[in-house]
Structures are given as C-alpha cells and as structure tokens.
Structure 1
Amino acid sequence: MGRAEEYLNQIPMWTKKKHSVEEVRAFLNALGAPDRDVPAVHVAGTNGKGSVCAFLTSVFRQAGYRTGTFTSPHLVDMRERFLINGAMADEAVFERAFETVRGIVREMEEKGFGHPTFFEFLFYMAVIIFREEKVDVMVIETGLGGRLDATNALEHPAASVITSISMDHTQYLGDTIEKIAWEKAGIIKAGVPVIFDASNPGVRTVIEGAAFRRGAARYPVNSPDFQVEGIRGGHLEVTVRLLRGDSLRLEIPFEALYQAQNAALAVRTLEVLRGPCRQGRAGVPGGERVCLPADRQENEIFRRITDRQIAEGIQTTAWPGRMEQIRPGLYLDGANNPGGIEAFLRTAGEIAASRREKAYLLFSALSDKDYGHMVRLLAEGFVWAGIGVLTLESARGLPGAQLAEEFKKWTACPVTVYQGTGEALPAMLEQAEGELLFCTGSLYLVGEIRKALERV
C-alpha cells in the first residue's frame, strides 16, 4: 500500500462531516475548476449506475473519445475508481493527483474549511487525474443520493442520468421510494437533459416534476423501449427502440436481465448527446421527447457517434461483479439491497433453469443494509441446494452467525457459517462442484472473492 492510499484509508477515522455542495464547489475552484474543462455525464440511481457508466465509457472509447470515469466502490485496487478509457489510472498519476489535492486541502484548512471526507477527496483526485490525462469526456457516478452528493457540484453536465431507484440508504435518503427519488432528482439542472428509468410510476412522477420545474428536457426509458430477445452464449440479445423511430440490435456481454434496462438507458443517453432527433416540447409533462438543440456547443463533440459504434461499444463493455461468471459455474453479483436482490434472483433463476443444474448461494452483507429483507427474498425466491454465509472484512460487515439466524427464519435449507472468504470460497466451490455457485450481497464480497481466487 502506497503513502497516498494509506492516508486516504485513514480519512474516515478523523473526518465524517460532509461538506455542502457549495463548499465542494469552493474546493474545485481552488483546484482550478478542472471539472469545467470537458463535458460530463452525471449518473445517479440506486442500482445500475455503475453499469450505465461502464456502457457509456465503452461506447465513448469505441467512438474515439478519451474518457475519464469516476465510480465507486473499488473491488480490489483503489485506482479502479479512476478509469482512463476503461483502464485504471497509472500509479504515478494517482500519486501526483493525491499530492495536488493534499496541498489544496492544507490551504483550504487554513481558510477555515474542514478536511474533505474520503469520497470528497477521491472526487477531487478524479477531476485532477482527468485533467492530467487530457480526457475528452467525463463519466461521473454519484456516491450517495444526488442532491447533497459531492459530485453535484458539477455545474452544467452534458446530461444527467438516473438509473433504477429502490429502497436503500433510507436513514439518509428517506423511507419511501418517492423521497429517495426526490433526492436522486437533485442532480437535475436547468437546461440539462435527464434520461431516467421510468419503470416505477411513483419515481417517474417525481423525476418528471423535478425536470419540468427546472426546465430540463426529459427522456424516460421503460419496458416498451427495449426487448430481450434471448440469452445465448452468456450474452443478452436485446433490441432497443431509438428516438427517431427505428431500432438497434445489441449484444450485451452479460447474462443479467437487468442489464437490458441499463444498456437502454446508456443508448438513450448517447442518442440525446449526439442529437438532434425529432421535434417536440421538452420539459412539458406529456410532451414529446426531443433531442438536444443543434446549437449546444458543449455537445458538438458527440455528433459523430454512430449506431455501429454504440452497438460495438455495448458489446465490448467490461464491468466486473455484476452477474459475472468469473469461472465456469461461479457467478459474482454485487446486489446489496432488496431491489438488486430481486433483479439478481430473476437472472439466477433463468441461468439455473437453462442449465438444469443445482444452485448454491454464498452470501454476506454490511450491517447498515436492509439485510433482513434481502435474506427473506433469497430464502423464499429460490430453491437453494446449500447456503453459506460469512463475515466481511469490512468494519461494517455483519456477523455470519447473525445472517444464518435470519436465513433459518425463512428456509429449511442447510446454512453453513464461515469465518471469512478464505474459508468459505474453497468449501463452497467443493460443495458446488459441477453445479452453480452464486455469490451476492455486497460488492465488498465480490472484491474479497476476486482476491481469494488468486489463492484457490
């Protein structure tokens, strides 16, 4: 572990208070406002935002744009949060960005500002890295929520994207789906188009209302906008309806059914960016969807994106830990809330049915998640041949024994408690030999398994 990473990991020990969006803006300005140098796509949501970022990154790269992508969390290496054309930032660039931000933090502290939180510090590093790497476009994922998130200091992104919204982080974002949607809709800005998952009527009402009030053109994406044709050779075959009236065939390199919606959101975003499409009344409830006016200077660079580049970019997307078959029969999925677990179960069921094989489950969760609801969904939504639970290495990891007790409330399936991933993985792989093993509950679990596989 380098000096920068050691320092960053210690930040939560002494800094917990978030800065306001206005204070984050002041930090960015002190850094020279590098976020104003290039257009950005700002992505929020409960589930799928990382996948949408990955799809967009791959298409931009395919179209010849140098792309900087900021996502979280990382699985193994902290530099995974800072991607240049889909690859981790160079270690030397990472260290230089850290030193730059650390220097400005000292200056801001002398002016009375508090030390940035872990996420804020990383966001500042991201825009510095992207400036040094001379990217053409940034893809920025929110950390938590949207309205009060550090990334919302982006003043005028090229587009705002809101993915699937479900119940998660209720202690911070609200105890209803509408309250959570309102927080996510906080990224919508005047004159900036918003592309969003409209599958939930309550969520759609909130987002469309926010877009209308802020004068933002809105582009809902719902089930009629795409069709899953089938799963073949570990890929989804999907048809997406385009704004101009025709359709685009996609081969998505994942088996997870939920990736069809995420890919459709990415395609719609790219359509809007490259505009124009057709005339209509933007920002008016019930009005036709339109693409951007031709005179938006910041979007001129996106005009040359073609349908072929979109299809090829989607097809070559890499995004680990999202129903990823990392070895034959071994699947890793970072679902970490009830909505994500429901989507996970739909795909796990399809895979198990198509292969006619038994399925085993390895599960773990963080203590601040709705683990009780997730466990019940997993127990009642699938017939498992065996279940293993463990305690994550994270300080927020829930004890495996507690998870086992939760499972026993809802299923008679045998549940084995393991001390950690190092013990659980080889035992579960042996138990599920020749069958299927699904690992889910947290991206932290995915990261631990990827590291453990190097030793198995």
Structure 2
Amino acid sequence: DLAVMEVGLGGRLDATNVVDAPLVSVITSLSREHWQRLGPTLADIAREKAGVLKPGRPAVVGPLPPEAAGVVEARLTELGCPVVWPTPAVPLENGQARYGSGADVITYPLALLGEHQLINSAVAIAALHSLRHQGWKISDEAIVTGMGKARWPGRLQWVTWGQDAASYPLLLDGAHNPAAAEVLRQYVNSWWASQPVKSLGTAWLMGMLGTKDHGDIFAALLRPGDTLHLVPVPGHETAAPEDLAAIARSLCSDLAQCQIHPSLSDGLVALGHTPSQLRVLCGSLYLIGHFLATEPYRNCP
C-alpha cells in the first residue's frame, strides 16, 4: 500500500517528518499563506516548506516564485535530491490533457475545473512516474482512471442550492488566500467570456477568518458592478462582516451593492435575489465546509 501524507502547516516542523525516507516529496505551489507563523517573505515560507525534502530522496516541485525557487533549489542541492520540475500539461479537446514525453507521455481526462489543474495534474503524474521508476507497478490505465474520478469538494464546485423555484446555481470555492483568489478570478473571467449574454456583474457571498489578507483577496476578486454579501464564518475566528465591508468599499467603490447578513443561510437567500448570472460562495474553506454540512444542495452534472 501507498500512503499520501499532506503537511498540516509549513513542513520543517510538521508531524509528517516522522517519515524520514519518503518515496517522493512534492511541493506543488507556494504563496504568502500562514505567513504569521512561517515568516513574512516567500523565501521564509519556502525555507519551511522545504522541510519535506529528505536526503537523497526524489522530489517533484511545481512552478514557484523566483524568490522561493532559489531557496528550494539550494536545499535540493544540499540534500542531493533528484528532482523533477514539471511543466504544465497541454490542454486538448473534450476536457483532455497530455503530459510527459517519450515513454512517459500520457493523455488523460481533467475532471477538475480551472486552468491551474494543468500544473496540478502534471505534478501528480510526475510523482506517479517517480514511483514507477522506483519499481512500483502503476499503469497508464490506472492513472487515466484516477484522473477521471478526481473530485475536490469546495474548489470550483458547481452546485444547485435551495428548493424548487427558489433554487439557483452556485459556484463554491475556498479562495481563502490571495493566490487562491487569483485562481478563482481567472476561472470567473473565463466563465464570463464563454457566456452569450451581457454581464450583470458577479454576485459574491463571502466570509473570511480574521487572520487572512482581506484586502488582497478582495482586490483579486471584486470588479465594478459586482454585488457583495458578507457573513460571519461560524465556529471560527471570523473577521467581522462590518470590517470586511469597509475594506471592500475602499478597494472597489463601484460595487452595485455591499450587504451584511447575520448568517450564511440569510446570505444565501439574499444572494438568490441578486440579478446576476453568476453567484459565488467563497472566502473561507471553513465557510464552504459549513455550507456542505448544513445547507440543502445538489451537485451539478
């Protein structure tokens, strides 16, 4: 059997270090997240994340900002780790993608939405190829099947919320840090570009934790004419919706509306009354988790 172990925070001091000789270590991406504990710069954060690298053990590393890449490269050299830096997969028609070269080239379905899945899937397949080169029997057919069955609740997940005539399509995404917000914005832009009707602005329903970079997240997402509904994140150290509203208005003074609601349920009802073709719930993985656990919804095909 194989175990996939995800680091909880950082890497250097994480409990996953009990595994001192991993089959392969993976650093998918890196951004200014958890900087209060990992350090204020990308180089500081990279230094902590590089703690997953072990002497002489293979590594797969996705694209990193230059400031972070230099730190990781130095650690790879110091530890003598053989490393693969995958390039993004090539998008094909009908939701397919191709990654690799020579005997390792593979065409597979992209079940997850978003252009960023081209690099995410490439990193995953590069890790599988590393295992295969170490003697693990992992067929292309198994990889294709696994990629086609991949699901990631709360990340660019389309659902229908509500009952009967009051129901509406809703896009769920954590977008809990600026980098994730940029990814969501990229998808929203592509969604609007694919629509035959004129945009009425995106309708956002958001809540955030108090520790997040609220201004940077709003700056990535909000555009003039958008509508913003704000709610608290239940059960966690939430940012006050009133404070978030002040930040949002200062960054995007041309919002069509900015409203505050006492609960997620109230916000969802108000969101349904907003005249927009695109409604998005985002800002916190905890908020998304609360939605999935408590609200009436069904997955869209």
Question: So what's the TM-score if we normalise by structure 1?
Answer: 0.59
2:146 to 313, 331, 336: 313
Q: Deviations over 1:152-181 (max 9, x none)?
A: 222211110001101111111111111111
**Given the alignment of the two structures, is residue 213 of structure 1 paired with residue 78 of structure 2, yes or no?**
yes
Look up the match of 1:139: 4
Look up the match of 2:230: 389
**Given the alignment of the two structures, is residue 240 of structure 1 paired with residue 99 of structure 2, yes or no?**
yes
Look up the match of 2:210: 367
Look up the match of 2:90: 227
Task: Report the identity percentage.
Answer: 28
Judged with a 3 Å threshold, the aligned counterparts in structure 2 of structure 1 residues 186 and 449 are, in CA distance, closer, same or farther, namely same
* Cα contact 2:30–2:64 (8 A) shared by 1: no
Return the index of the structure with the highest Cα Rg: 1
Partners of 1:405 and 1:228 in 2: CA distance: 41
Look up the match of 2:189: 349
Number of equivalent positions: 286
Partners of 2:292 and 2:108 in 1: CA distance: 28
Judged with a 3 Å threshold, the aligned counterparts in structure 2 of structure 1 residues 455 and 249 are, in CA distance, closer, same or farther, namely closer
Look up the match of 2:260: 417
**Given the alignment of the two structures, is residue 264 of structure 1 paired with residue 111 of structure 2, yes or no?**
no
1:399 to 240, 245, 249: 240
Look up the match of 2:62: 197
* Cα contact 1:181–1:207 (8 A) shared by 2: yes
Matched residue of 1:329: which SS?
Answer: strand
Partners of 1:373 and 1:239 in 2: CA distance: 34
Matched residue of 1:431: which SS?
Answer: coil
Alignment of 1:276-291 (within 5 A): none
Judged with a 3 Å threshold, the aligned counterparts in structure 2 of structure 1 residues 385 and 140 are, in CA distance, closer, same or farther, namely same
Partners of 2:230 and 2:271 in 1: CA distance: 10
| Larger CA deviation: 147-156 vs 357-366 | 357-366
* Cα contact 1:361–1:384 (8 A) shared by 2: no
**Given the alignment of the two structures, is residue 439 of structure 1 paired with residue 281 of structure 2, yes or no?**
yes
Judged with a 3 Å threshold, the aligned counterparts in structure 2 of structure 1 residues 269 and 455 are, in CA distance, closer, same or farther, namely closer
Look up the match of 1:37: none
Look up the match of 1:110: none
Judged with a 3 Å threshold, the aligned counterparts in structure 2 of structure 1 residues 218 and 155 are, in CA distance, closer, same or farther, namely same
Matched residue of 2:260: which SS?
Answer: strand
**Given the alignment of the two structures, is residue 330 of structure 1 paired with residue 188 of structure 2, yes or no?**
no
Partners of 1:455 and 1:274 in 2: CA distance: 40
Look up the match of 1:339: 179
Letter in 2 for 1:239: R
Judged with a 3 Å threshold, the aligned counterparts in structure 2 of structure 1 residues 384 and 267 are, in CA distance, closer, same or farther, namely farther
Residue 151 of structure 1 deviates from its aligned partner by 1.5
Residue 195 of structure 1 deviates from its aligned partner by 0.4
**Given the alignment of the two structures, is residue 255 of structure 1 paired with residue 113 of structure 2, yes or no?**
yes
Look up the match of 1:178: 43
Moved over 4 A (4+): none
* Cα contact 1:208–1:218 (8 A) shared by 2: no
* Cα contact 1:199–1:222 (8 A) shared by 2: no
Matched residue of 1:438: which SS?
Answer: strand
Q: Deviations over 1:314-336 (max 9, x none)?
A: 01111101101122731111121
Look up the match of 1:429: 272
The structure in which a higher percent of residues are helix is 1
* Cα contact 1:165–1:181 (8 A) shared by 2: yes
Residue 420 of structure 1 deviates from its aligned partner by 1.4
Instruction: List gaps (5 residues or longer) in structure 1.
Output: 1-135, 276-291, 293-299
Judged with a 3 Å threshold, the aligned counterparts in structure 2 of structure 1 residues 180 and 169 are, in CA distance, closer, same or farther, namely same
| Larger CA deviation: 325-334 vs 313-322 | 325-334
* Cα contact 1:389–1:418 (8 A) shared by 2: yes
Partners of 1:252 and 1:350 in 2: CA distance: 17
Q: Deviations over 1:328-350 (max 9, x none)?
A: 73111112111111111001111
Partners of 2:87 and 2:177 in 1: CA distance: 21
* Cα contact 1:337–1:370 (8 A) shared by 2: yes
Judged with a 3 Å threshold, the aligned counterparts in structure 2 of structure 1 residues 455 and 208 are, in CA distance, closer, same or farther, namely closer
Matched residue of 1:186: which SS?
Answer: helix
Residue 443 of structure 1 deviates from its aligned partner by 0.6
Partners of 2:140 and 2:96 in 1: CA distance: 16
Look up the match of 1:38: none
Instruction: List gaps (5 residues or longer) in structure 2.
Output: 161-167
Q: Deviations over 1:414-441 (max 9, x none)?
A: 11111111211122123257x2111111
Matched residue of 2:3: which SS?
Answer: strand
Residue 384 of structure 1 deviates from its aligned partner by 5.0
Partners of 2:15 and 2:234 in 1: CA distance: 27
* Cα contact 1:425–1:449 (8 A) shared by 2: no
Matched residue of 2:54: which SS?
Answer: coil
